[in-house]
Amino acid sequence: MTKNLKLAPSRRDFIKFVVAGSIASGCPVDRALLPVPSSPPAANVEGEHFAICHQVRENHTFTKPDAARKVDIAIIGGGMAGLSAAYFLRGKDWLLLEKEDHFGGNAYQEEFAGQAYSTAAAYDFRGSDSDQLAKEIGLDLLPINMPDPTIDNGVYTPDTWRSGISQLPYSKETVASFKKFAEDMLKLDPRKDILELDSKPFTHITSAFAPEVTKWWDAYGPSNWGALTKDTTAYIGVSDAQYLIKGEDSTRVILPGGLGCISHKLVEVMRPKYGERMLGGATVVSVVPDAHEVRITYMHEDRLTTVAARLVLMCAPKFIASRLVAGLPDDQKQAMQRMRYAPVPMINMIFDKQIYRKGYDNWCPGNSFTDFIVADWTIRNQPGYHPKYEILTFYSTLRESQRYLLLEESSCKEFAAKVLTDFQKLLPEFHVDPIEIHLYRRGHAMMMAVPGQYTKNRMIASRPMDRIFFGNSDSGGPESLTTEAVRISQAAAEWANLTLSGKSAAAADVAHKALTKVSF
Ligand SMILES: Cc1cc2nc3c(=O)[nH]c(=O)nc-3n(C[C@H](O)[C@H](O)[C@H](O)COP(=O)(O)OP(=O)(O)OC[C@H]3O[C@@H](n4cnc5c(N)ncnc54)[C@H](O)[C@@H]3O)c2cc1C
């Protein structure tokens, strides 16, 4: 759903605003998670399937028609997890049900005048499971070849955590504190101390350093794993600090469109042969297992339909799974509902001239947005490439208490205007207006990497049932990663094949190994 909006009168009158995405992409919208003071604003939600998702949350009992179709495997959710599971199971009897009219979930690319940009997931790593899948379907993700700069106090600092650390625009004492932080992080062994580190917040470590260190991670953390330093598990904080300080970010790869380029290509590759099995605009409202099959009821074109499947791969996030699946053990349901998800208004600004080519992912601590990315970075120097527009993608994870801002278009527009104001204040060359601002709202975009989620809560939340495998990137971690969605789906496909051939012990082993593998 797309709407064009006008800004308040100013020179910004000439900027066109486009608000897209249903807040219900985190269907069902959980109003219990919207701490709006007294009376919440009237829901002016543009989600195509908001009404139906809301009913799911309210535990509405839907009339479940008799099964109209039987399949071996139903795959619920057509993000990277569901799409890749379908790809790994090609040739088998599956049906993929996706709530939105398009596939891709949080890895979804859009285009402006033929130029692709990301509406969430940014980049991958050479050799990761998703990079290997991309190769297999004919995509060559290109190297980013540049460490991340920081822009703060009106100064651009290249290579923040290595050569740039001495040039950070802070006092001598603060720069020394950044250096000490880097030295101290390298002395830790997160793999060995995973349980201890995953039991405490990252501030437990960062609070010993200058406040600017925490301020920097308060930008990096929300953008990468949805949480401020105080809510972040020290395990991921230390692991990511080491990754940046050691220069392991040099393996990053991507194409314009972010990781949406992979979901886009997967759809292109599968649709000609399996189009009939890939159903968009199909919102699952209940999943009821019994001894012989699982009955999945979904709303499609205003009609409820039931399909009976021998197995289900639940590739929607856990807060949704917890509401759809009947018969979940109490501890598992509670673990699913304990998982926290950050709201994200994804903002793309389209300029009709080139304004910035000095860094791919640029960290801007202390602003309404955390970082911005140059959409066509990896192809910018290709011979013959002369883009008409420059597209910058702004990441701006909200606090959970701000989720309600996404409900109304007017507050989305105000937020985007604030991001533009903050951006233009950063450096003089940014004082240029875009011709269009696109905002894609994602109500529950990213699983938050809070203490205990990776080593404890996830293990309970993601346990398979007899006939249901719980996929989605939130079965992996330690942060929400596309490669984890793909890795878990590879295991899900293997689990399904083994279960269908009666090898339940081997299937259980595959599921157990997939969950217990430490990926970071
Ligand atoms: C702002 C942001 C930046 C990110 N950056 C990166 C990055 O740089 N690198 C990286 O690797 N990862 C990144 N990620 C994470 C990455 O996007 C996710 O890990 C990945 O896309 C998750 O895929 P998924 O299929 O597991 O889940 P999702 O993308 O959540 O897909 C779930 C799907 O299920 C559908 N669904 C929900 N309810 C129902 C229902 N009732 N019936 C039918 N369908 C339903 C949804 O519509 C959705 O399409 C980022 C995420 C965000 C939000």
120 lines ligand 1 (CB under 6 A): yes
What was the pLDDT predicted at 263? 98
Distance 209 CA to ligand 1 centre (A): 34
Neighbours of 178 (CB within 10 A): 21
State which ligand 1 atom lies nearest to the alpha carbon of 284. Answer: 42
| DSSP single-letter state for residue 381 | T
In short, whether 210's Cβ falls inside 6 Å of ligand 1 is no
Reported in sequence order, the residue ranges of 141-281 that DSSP labels E, i.e. its strands, are 142-143, 150-152, 155-157, 252-254, 278-279
Q: How far is the CA of 304 from the centre of ligand 1 (A)?
A: 25
pLDDT at 22: 64
- The Cα 206–Cα 237 span in angstroms is 9
Q: How confident is the chain (520 residues) per 10-residue block, as mean pLDDT?
A: 50 78 48 35 38 60 83 98 98 97 97 97 98 98 98 98 98 98 98 97 98 98 98 98 97 98 98 98 96 96 96 98 97 98 97 96 98 98 96 97 92 95 97 96 95 98 98 97 98 98 98 89
Structure tokens at 67: 């099964």
Ligand 1 midpoint to CA 2 (Å): 20
pLDDT of residue 68: 87
Taking CA atoms only, the protein residue closest to ligand 1 atom 20 is 482
Regarding the beta carbon of 262 and ligand 1, being less than 6 Å apart is answered: no
Q: Return the CA Rg of the chain.
A: 22
CA of 309: how far to CAs of 76, 125, 471, in Å?
11, 35, 17
Q: Distance from the CA of 479 to the center of ligand 1, in angstroms?
A: 12
Angle, helices 482-500/504-516, rounded to nearest 10 degrees: 170
473 lines ligand 1 (CB under 6 A): yes
Please identify, by atom number, the ligand 1 atom nearest to the C-alpha of residue 122: 8
Q: Whose CA is nearest to atom 13 of ligand 1?
A: 121
- Cβ(287) to ligand 1 under 6 A? no
Distance 391 CA to ligand 1 centre (A): 22
- CA contacts within 13 A on the Cβ side of 55: 13
Pairing of strands 303-314, 67-76: parallel
User: Closest ligand 1 atom to the C-alpha of 81?
Assistant: 25
CA 179 to ligand 1 center in whole angstroms: 35
Output the residue whose Cα is nearest ligand 1's atom 2: 120
Residue 15: what pLDDT?
A: 83
pLDDT at 111: 97
Q: Residue 52: what pLDDT? A: 57
pLDDT of residue 4: 53
Contact 328/461 with Cβ under 8 angstroms?
no
